[in-house]
Amino acid sequence: MALTTDEKRAIIAYRMEKSRQTMVEAQDNANMKHWSLAANRLYYSLFHMASALLVDKGYTSKTHSGIICILG
C-alpha cells in the first residue's frame, strides 16, 4: 500500500526529529566522556536520518540490515 504525501511527510518529520534528539544524546554522552554510549547514539541518529531519506525516495525498511541493503 502506497503512502500518501501527508503520510510520507509525517514519517519523514518524525524520523528527522528522532535523529536530532538522538544526536543531542550523543553530544551529552560525549561531554561526559561516555564514548561507547556516544557512538551508539550517533549510530542511531544516522539510522533514523537514513530511514527518513529513504522514505523521501520511496523506499522503506524496518531493519538496520534492510537500510544497508538498500544503500549498498
Q: Rounded to whole angstroms, how far apart are CA atoms 29 and 36?
A: 9
Structure confidence by residue, pLDDT tens digits, 49-70: 999 999 988 887 767 777 766 6
Q: How many domains does the chain have?
A: 1
Grid coordinates of 46:
544516522
Full residue range of the structural domain in which residue 25 is found? 5-71
Q: CA gyration radius for the chain?
A: 14
Q: What is the pLDDT of residues 6-55, one digit of tens each?
A: 999 999 999 999 999 999 999 999 999 999 999 999 999 999 999 999 99
* Other Cβ atoms within 10 Å of 72 Cβ, number: 6
Count CB-CB contacts under 10 A for residue 16. 16
Which residue is listed with cell 544516522?
46
